[in-house]
Chains A and B, each alone.
Chain A
Amino acid sequence: MEDMIVSTLERAMVAGTPLLLATTGEVVCERSGILNLGVEGVMAMGAVVAFIVTMTTGNPWLGVLCAVGVGMAISILHAFTAISLQANQVVSGLALTMLGLGISGMMGKPYVGKPLLVKMEDLTLPFLSDIPYLGKILFAQSPFFYLAILLALAAWFLLEKTRLGIQIRSTGENPKATETQGIPVARIKYLCVLIGGGFSALAGAHLSISYSKSWIEGMTAGRGWIAIALTIFALWNPGRAIGAAFLFGFVFVVQYLLQPLGISPNFLSMLPYVATLIILLFISFKDPRRLNAPAMLGEPYKRGER
């Protein structure tokens, strides 16, 4: 029993890692007022690029780096249509998702089903990993796990404790007032979309080279969408995203726990998505003012208009 709990929680951490990465990126992006529904597609791109590069070069870190670069590059599409052309962000984000899923499927065709021989070693922290129970859950994980938490904390620090953070948040709240203080609103939005894209791709890289160590088309399985829901659940705060992501990681693995009880696996694999719906339902009852949503989220900003 004890073993089962420990291994469930351990796997919850693994399952929560990509969610945390993608959510952190989306939080930064949405805080600048840009809604990016392309997370799922960029994640898939990240996964396939990381897998291919790792497979051919044998260096997983190079794979990660290339994935992040490609994720940022493809996100420029969304940034350009949403910021420079002031187009509808929902449409442009959806297009990015479809594009990413399509391209990744095409690029990954020759690699489907091939196992990844290069391994990314788990990072076992000395002493800390010897703590009973907790050590195994928290301190003997893949490097992605620590990276995700550190990046989330860094994003929180950036948004709350730096001048750039104030500028980013102000841009999402009231771009007009921000611009009258002489702050380059468009440049800040571009930066945030790129950061978001990098994070999504990083999440994808984790899926293909650490989590499942293989590539299959559609392996992101809606995690990008869940990350967008978690952004709301975390109330646009990267700190809260940590808890939210791992809670959902737990929902992902709990299905394996319940399977022996005779519940249909198809029904159980619904769980994360049902949980997402329930949480969105609850959030919508809250006072919008307390919700902390960026006031101008998803609104195109046209300069010089009243």
Chain B
Amino acid sequence: MRGISKSFHGIPANQDISFSIESGEILGLLGENGAGKTTLMNILYGLYQPDAGEIRINDAPVRIHNPLESIALGIGMVHQHFMLIQNHSVLENIALSHKDTPFFFPTVKIREKLENFSASFDFNIDLTKKIWQLSAGEQQRVEIIKALLNGADLLILDEPTSVLTPQEIKELISILKEMKAKGHMVIFISHKLDEIMDICDRVLVLQKGKIAGSALTRDTDKISLARMMVGRDVVFNIQREKIDRGNQILSVEHLNVMGDKGLPVLKDISFEVFENEIFGVAGVSGNGQRELAEAVTGIRKAESGKIRINDRDITNTSPRHIYDQGVSHVPEERIRFGIAPGLFLYDNAILKQHHLKKFSKRYFLKYKDVKDHAKNLMDDFNVSAHSIHSQIRNLSGGNIQKLILGREISEKPQLLVASHPTYGLDVGATEFMRNHLLELRKTGSAVLLFSEDLEEIFELCDRIAVIFDGEFMAILDSGDRRLNDIGLMMAGSKRI
């Protein structure tokens, strides 16, 4: 690939990226979330068209318009979220994707093919089982079989280990080594340093859509890769005024929480947050941040452990009860969880407070008060909208987020749980959000902040926890020199 650039709505996702891969090579693609790894691979797989640059295969320039063409060129991709039909058997799934499936009795023919095929690769999967009966590792193998059976010479694996157990990772690695020995090429996307060092011959580091560096794994080490990935040695830039923290507001003890798939996602988490403090949780998304925020705000059940607010046990009580204890929440995915998109601005301004005396009387809302409140929020939090009668889905992301923040902190919460509050916002709105969080800290509230943006974490937080795979790798004061290795901790390679 040469000089590849791609931008979405004017925001560059890839800028002038060039690299090559040769047969029998495993290339690692390393970078934080949003660094442009998946975009780059989707271009190679034909899902997106590049704005500039070209792709060459065996020195011949090609244009890949859709996945069918890339499959014909011998490129296969295993997406992070598997493209499998859960209710169908392994055979049916492979028959669906295979290019030469016969019309009649397709599964019979596919079974024959697979039996020849498994003479060369050992996949060890029951072909008649339904996909939902398989473990994540087995499902991934089905995806790999699909690609190989379609004649893929180049296999792209997008975050392949994120759903696997350690044992399954070992099996995946042995399959990849086997493919390498047979001359296949593999592009391995990951943000985990250990795996990259383990599996890949060469590694390409992406940072904010550009190539930050590339190296042979045998010539480099984890620390320099981590620095390349994060983009700089961590600089401390503290402009917060020093405030001594007050009383303990939130305490979490030995918290265990299950994820959506019924597997443990948070493992024995303990921490406290105090008045006048911003407690930051840094980490690559998907390591348990969402589940932690949901458990604290009462949306997700805690399997064991205690969550206390002001020494009062709120574990597994209702979200409204927790809200009444003074816990506010600025959720991630603001459109899905923060607002009701089809309702008016003034409805959304009281989503959590509609039951309070000041907005309702018996069964009726006091619309005059509600609208006055919405107008005040708009003024106080600089929400620019046509009027309070606008449907909220028509507002920009920044204005929606300002309204949510206003709604959540207008009642002066004891604790604000803020998940990725500035994700996707422009500079102005980001600055506005951050200042309000600092303001909240000054007036005596506690803030639990989840963010992937290290700059934000360092700028705002008094203490920083680094989360990896559902565990805290460290909880450190923001002045601690050991935070230089935060990249390593986020990648799970270092624990303090």
Q: List residues of chain A with CB under 8 Å of any chain B CB.
A: 161-164, 166-167, 169-170, 173-174, 176-178, 180-183, 289, 292, 295
User: Which residues of B (73-115) have their CB < 8 Å from a CB of A?
Assistant: 79, 82-88, 92, 95-97, 101-106
Residue picked from B68, B85, B103, most chain A C-beta under 10 Å: B85
Inter-subunit contact A178/B85 (CB<8 Å): yes
Q: B77 — nearest CB in chain A belongs to which residue?
A: A180
Inter-subunit contact B67/A182 (CB<8 Å): yes
Compute how far the CA of A182 lies from the CA of B69 in the bound complex, rounded to whole angstroms: 10
Q: A182-B66, A182-B68, A182-B71 are in contact. Are A164 and B103 (CB under 8 A)?
A: yes
Q: B residues within 8 A CB of A174? A: 83-86
Interface of chain A, main secondary structure:
helix
Q: A residues within 8 A CB of B105? A: 161-162
Q: A169 — nearest CB in chain B belongs to which residue?
A: B88
Inter-subunit contact A166/B83 (CB<8 Å): no
**Interface residue tally for chain B (C-beta within 8 Å):** 23
Q: B residues within 8 A CB of A180? A: 67, 79, 83
Q: B residues within 8 A CB of A292? A: 87
Compute how far the CA of A78 lies from the CA of B162 in the bound complex, rounded to whole angstroms: 42
Which of A162, A183, A289 contacts B96 (CB under 8 A)? Answer: A183
Inter-subunit contact A163/B103 (CB<8 Å): yes
Which of B86, B88, B106 contacts A163 (CB under 8 A)? Answer: B106
Q: A177 — nearest CB in chain B belongs to which residue?
A: B83
Q: B residues within 8 A CB of A173? A: 85-88
Nearest CB in chain B: distance from A117 CB, A: 44
Q: A178-B96, A180-B83, A181-B97 are in contact. Are A166 and B88 (CB under 8 A)?
A: yes
Q: A162-B103, A162-B106 are in contact. Are A295 and B87 (CB under 8 A)?
A: yes
Does B132 interact with chain A (Cβ within 8 Å)? yes
Q: B87 — nearest CB in chain A belongs to which residue?
A: A173
Q: A residues within 8 A CB of B103? A: 162-164
Nearest CB in chain A: distance from B159 CB, A: 16
Q: A165 — nearest CB in chain B belongs to which residue?
A: B106
Inter-subunit contact B132/A289 (CB<8 Å): yes
Nearest CB in chain B: distance from A227 CB, A: 23
Q: B residues within 8 A CB of A167? A: 96
Q: B residues within 8 A CB of A170? A: 85, 88, 92, 96
25 interchain pairs, CB-CB under 8 A = A161-B104, A161-B105, A162-B104, A163-B104, A166-B88, A166-B106, A169-B85, A169-B88, A170-B88, A170-B92, A173-B87, A173-B88, A174-B84, A174-B86, A177-B82, A177-B83, A177-B84, A180-B67, A180-B79, A180-B83, A181-B67, A181-B83, A182-B66, A182-B67, A295-B87
Inter-subunit contact A181/B104 (CB<8 Å): no
Compute how far the CA of A163 lies from the CA of B104 in the bound complex, rounded to whole angstroms: 6
Question: Given A169-B88, A177-B84, list of 4 further CB < 8 A pairs?
Answer: A162-B104, A163-B103, A166-B92, A173-B86
Residue picked from B71, B97, B102, most chain A C-beta under 10 Å: B97
Compute how far the CA of A166 lies from the CA of B71 in the bound complex, rounded to whole angstroms: 20
Q: A residues within 8 A CB of B67? A: 180-182
Q: B residues within 8 A CB of A164? A: 103
Nearest CB in chain A: distance from B90 CB, A: 12
Compute how far the CA of A176 lies from the CA of B103 in the bound complex, rounded to whole angstroms: 22
Inter-subunit contact A163/B83 (CB<8 Å): no
Q: A residues within 8 A CB of B132? A: 289
Inter-subunit contact A166/B104 (CB<8 Å): no
Compute how far the CA of A183 lies from the CA of B83 in the bound complex, rounded to whole angstroms: 13
Q: A182-B68, A289-B132 are in contact. Are A166 and B96 (CB under 8 A)?
A: yes
Q: B68 — nearest CB in chain A belongs to which residue?
A: A182
Nearest CB in chain A: distance from B347 CB, A: 23
Q: A293 — nearest CB in chain B belongs to which residue?
A: B87
Q: A residues within 8 A CB of B85? A: 169-170, 173-174, 177-178
Q: B residues within 8 A CB of A161? A: 104-106
Compute how far the CA of A166 lies from the CA of B79 in the bound complex, rounded to whole angstroms: 21
Q: Which 4 A-B pairs have the closest CB atoms?
A: A177-B83, A182-B68, A181-B97, A163-B106
Q: A residues within 8 A CB of B92? A: 166, 169-170
Nearest CB in chain B: distance from A156 CB, A: 14
Inter-subunit contact A181/B96 (CB<8 Å): yes
Residue picked from A161, A164, A180, A292, most chain B C-beta under 10 Å: A180
Q: A residues within 8 A CB of B101? A: 163, 166
Q: A173 — nearest CB in chain B belongs to which residue?
A: B85
Q: A residues within 8 A CB of B84? A: 174, 177
Compute how far the CA of A133 lies from the CA of B101 in the bound complex, rounded to whole angstroms: 46
Nearest CB in chain A: distance from B34 CB, A: 15
Compute how far the CA of A299 lies from the CA of B444 in the bound complex, rounded to whole angstroms: 48
Q: B residues within 8 A CB of A183? A: 96
Nearest CB in chain A: distance from B88 CB, A: 7
Q: A174 — nearest CB in chain B belongs to which residue?
A: B85
Compute how far the CA of A169 lies from the CA of B85 in the bound complex, rounded to whole angstroms: 9
Inter-subunit contact B95/A163 (CB<8 Å): yes
Q: A residues within 8 A CB of B83? A: 174, 176-177, 180-181
Residue picked from A169, A178, A182, A289, most chain B C-beta under 10 Å: A182
Compute how far the CA of A167 lies from the CA of B132 in the bound complex, rounded to whole angstroms: 18
Q: B residues within 8 A CB of A289? A: 132
Q: B83 — nearest CB in chain A belongs to which residue?
A: A177
Nearest CB in chain A: distance from B278 CB, A: 32
Q: A residues within 8 A CB of B88? A: 166, 169-170, 173
